[in-house]
Amino acid sequence: MQNIYKPVPLKRHFLTPGVMILIVLAFNGLVFLALRLIYGLGFVTNLDIQHPWGIWIAIDVACGVALASGGFTTAALGHVLHREKYKVILRPALLTAMLGYTFVAFGVMVDLGRWYYIWHPLIYWNGSSPLFEVGICVMFYLTVLYIEFIPVVTERFIGKVNFKGLLKFLNIPIDSILRFLDRSLSKTMFIFVIAGVVLSTLHQSSLGTLMVVAGSKMHPLWHTPILPLLFLLSAISVGFPMVIFESLLAARSFKIKPEMEVLTGLARMVGPLLFVYFGFKLGDMVIRGTYVYLEVINTASVMFMIEIVFGVLVPLRMFFSEKVIHSKLGLFIASSFVILGIFLNRINDFLVAYNPPYAVKSYFPSIGEISVTVGFIALLVLLYRIAIIIFPVISLPSRDLLPKSKYEIKGESK
Amino acid sequence: MPNQNRRDFFKTSLALGVTVSGLASGKLKAETPKVHPEDRMGVLVDTTVCIGCRSCEYACKVAHNLPTGSLESYHDDRSVFNKERRPGEEVLTVVNEYKSNQEFPIDVKVQCMHCEEPACVASCIVHAFTKHKDGSVTWDTGKCIGCRYCVIACPFQVPVFQYSKALQPNIMKCDFCYDRTSKGLLPACVEICPVEALTYGKKVELLQVAKGRIKQKPDKYFDHIYGEYEVGGTSWLYLSSTNFSNLDFPKLGEDPAPATSESIQHGLFRYFVPPVALYTLLGGIMWLTKRKENSEEEE
């Protein structure tokens, strides 16, 4: 008997002990955020004249963008390549990307000295700036993600808009707006889906171009003209592991059975993708001869080795093992390693590799910086939980919904 | 059937990777070096002449309405030389002193070098930096959003962000006294210098002067004009009696600092061809797979 998976809002209580902890962390972050807005960047952060960028850029923005890549990789797989099997993971991945990019935008904003001018790049263009390209693409992609999410909202609320009391007169207009959106988007969605994939490849790679200009200040282990390509390849490799990681986490948290068949299918693609990334990374190292920097033991060489061994080689081996990709625990560990690897890579590229010439001390994030970053992550998880309780995002097997297909009539079964 | 699709997927991603890498490597050296106009201005700093009186620091602050003590306090206080200083939130230029094996210590004035092809101008997200005809590089407070990418980009680590301000923090850097020079005045530091360690003039002529001095007194000068070729040339040029690495000048190549990232950006967006091509490619794949799926359903 085959189960049909259909996205449904999950009927769960919002408040759990874990949620309470997240709320405390989020509140703590917001306190430090308020201090930053009132007293300025210097008051809350450890940034200085020599170190202009800290973890708010390296983690909130660079890691945030990379780890939200599940959105465009699954869109390419499910919508562009029409792989029906993977339809069930599209919505969770979309939601993650949407929330992830929202917090990337917030992350950028609090890091800007003049945060209230965040709209300036829309007016003052600079085509030769990679940062301009990242900024514009992220703005457009965020819009595309919200548009892609509209059908989830219309599906949930069409015919169910039911305000009580004073707002009652809004019921019919809102319902017709939803119906209009649903109708027009069902025909045009492919435009946005492809735009989303193109915008993603553009800014994922340009995020790598950012540090190319810092040339003389960058450690040669990371500084290469193919940084944009490495960033794009690593973002593509981390997309599916991130989806697997989240699915397993959500399944555990909501006590539902993970769709192992789908996850194993995704996992089969991770190995080759990681292999291509590793190939370029290794090739770049050999061509530029940077392996000489690994002969000395210092922060840079140790961090590079950790990144490569635990972030690329270990998961590469694991994803090629049949035993691992068929086991929940194995998949979870292997995916965690890939995520760790990309996380380290972004931190290495933006912070460890950056050596300003006149620095008197090295940078380490302050309590305030860590609090805001952790607070944002906590808020993101909370919003994710709220969203999957309200909207039909997570797919559950449902026998009631099983249509009478022609296979059944013929008596075939799988 | 699934295998077929997966292979397609890899082929696509591989093709994509090759395209991107081709763009990145192919265009790197393609840009021709720009010829700089003859009337670019510059300053020649002769560190063998400088006496470390720090009058320039004082004049700079006065010219830019920054808080300052009396001129005498700058002459008298030699203790500031005990540690290396850098331009800061309210200081656009500083003089550092280095011990030497000769009779006198070496004093070096530090400020923006005003690159011929500035990394800050190329990198700024909102084009808040401008390279003017006379060579000066200035910053526009009306556009800046405070992202500090200029600080990352600058090879000389010159722009300073005002971390102490919650509202309207500025990027502080020497503006080559653009307001003064456009009125026919000398830059404040050049005007006040009592020993003529600083010479303001056309850059081509300054290079001749510098070369002449090295030729006349080869024993006195280290045979290198810092700024002639570094990062594609800078408006400020330095002469010294010792190797510039002893004076904490960064060792830089002759390629303009933003050359590589600029050619990647321009390569990726040449007439918008790569993004549009990718869009079309994906659209095509989408249409093909959809058709395949439909025909399978009909079977």
Please provide the DSSP assignment of B72-129 as one string. HHHHH--GGGGS----BTTBS-EEEEE--SSSS-EEEEE----BSS-HHHHH-TT--E
User: What is the structure's pLDDT at A396?
Assistant: 82
Interface touch A190/B161, C-beta < 8 Å: no
Supply the CATH classification number for the domain A55-358: 1.20.1630.10
Residues in chain B where the model's pLDDT stays below 50: 1-7, 9-14, 16-33
- Tell me whether B104 touches chain A (CB under 8 Å): no
Is the per-residue pLDDT at A263 higher than 50?
A: yes
Contacting residues of A for B17, CB less than 8 Å apart: 229, 232-233, 276, 280
Interface test with B, best of A36, A46, A48, A49 (most B CBs within 10 A): A49
Structure tokens at B226: 């810092």
Residue A1 in this model has a pLDDT that exceeds 50: no
User: How many DSSP H helices and E strands does chain B contain?
Assistant: 10, 9
Q: Which ranges in A158-259 belong to alpha helices (H)?
A: 171-209, 227-253
DSSP state of A84: G
Q: What is the mean pLDDT of residues A320-324?
A: 91
Write down the pLDDT at residue A169: 82
The answer for A 46-85 residues in CB contact with B (under 8 A) is 47-50, 52-53, 76-77, 79-85
pLDDT at B22: 46
- B286, A80: Cβ pair inside 8 Å? yes
What is the average per-residue pLDDT within A38-46? 94
Residue tagged 């992220």 (tokens): A138
In chain B, residues 34-73 whose CB comes closer than 8 Å to chain A: none
| Residue of B123, B161, B251 with shortest CB distance to A113 | B161
Domain boundaries, chain A: 55-358
Query: Domain spans of chain B?
Result: 41-116+176-259, 119-161
pLDDT band of A406, cuts 50, 70, 90? very low
Question: B289: distance to nearest CA of chain A, Å?
Answer: 6
pLDDT in tens, A114-129: 999 999 999 998 888 9
Residue A379 buriedness (CB in 10 A; 0-12 / 13-18 / 19+): buried
Percent of chain A with pLDDT over 90: 70
Q: Which residues in chain A have their CB less than 8 angstroms from residue B14's CB?
A: 276
Check whether domain B41-116+176-259 has CATH 1.10.10.10, yes or no: no
pLDDT at residue A407, rounded to an integer:
47
B119-161 fold: Alpha-Beta Plaits (3.30.70)
CB atoms closer than 10 angstroms to residue A413: 8
Q: What is the pLDDT of residue B229?
A: 92
